[in-house]
């Protein structure tokens, strides 16, 4: 590690409010375990749409769609989204029912760094389905001072 990179690294560490809990891949895994409650999850039926290269982490468009007939007998009950590097692992939980017709939810999220995002869908039969995306967050240039 050269000196410049080391200094840059210490500067970043100094800026982090490290008395706060930070999400980690472990914290995300723990948050996911809470939702699953021991059930198995299959990487099927869920689509997580995000731009692979993010120009600014403050507003990242994200759409989760789940293949489901969305009938009274067979629908998506919930969609959970998690991240592994923001201060908290939970991003959102959406509650759905057959009234939605389509299991598609869109919003915009904040991402402090390049990381993995996981979406998990729970269907009315109690099964869990997932998808994940690795996204790269680029740093903005020419930031103004926060005065």
List of residues contacting another protein (CB under 8 A): 17, 20, 50-51, 53, 55-56, 58-61, 63, 83, 86-88, 90-102, 104-111, 138-147
Q: Which is nearer to another protein, 37 or 40 (CB)?
A: 37
Q: Which is nearer to another protein, 125 or 145 (CB)?
A: 145
Q: How far is the CB of 24 from another protein (least distance, A)?
A: 15
* Cβ(34)–Cβ(67) below 8 Å: no
Q: How far is the CB of 65 from another protein (least distance, A)?
A: 10
Closest CA to 89 of 138, 34, 134: 34
Distance between first and last Cα of the chain: 33
Q: How far is the CB of 44 from another protein (least distance, A)?
A: 21
For residue 70, the Cα-to-chain-centroid distance in whole angstroms is 24
* Cβ(108)–Cβ(59) below 8 Å: yes
Q: Which is nearer to another protein, 7 or 53 (CB)?
A: 53
Q: Which residues partner with 134 through β-bridges?
A: 116
């Amino acid at each position: 590690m050269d000196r410049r990179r080391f200094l840059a690294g210490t500067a970043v560490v100094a800026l982090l409010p490290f008395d706060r809990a930070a999400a980690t891949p472990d914290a995300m895994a723990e948050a996911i375990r809470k939702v699953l409650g021991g059930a198995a999850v299959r990487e099927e039926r869920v689509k997580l749409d995000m731009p692979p290269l993010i120009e600014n982490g403050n507003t990242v468009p994200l759409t989760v769609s789940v293949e489901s007939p969305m009938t009274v007998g067979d629908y998506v009950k919930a969609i959970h989204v998690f991240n592994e590097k923001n201060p908290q692992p939970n991003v959102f939980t959406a509650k759905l029912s057959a009234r939605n017709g389509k299991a598609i939810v869109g919003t915009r999220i904040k991402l402090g760094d390049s990381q993995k995002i996981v979406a998990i869908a729970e269907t009315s039969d109690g099964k869990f389905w997932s998808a994940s995306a690795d996204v790269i967050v680029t740093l903005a240039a020419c930031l103004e001072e926060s005065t």
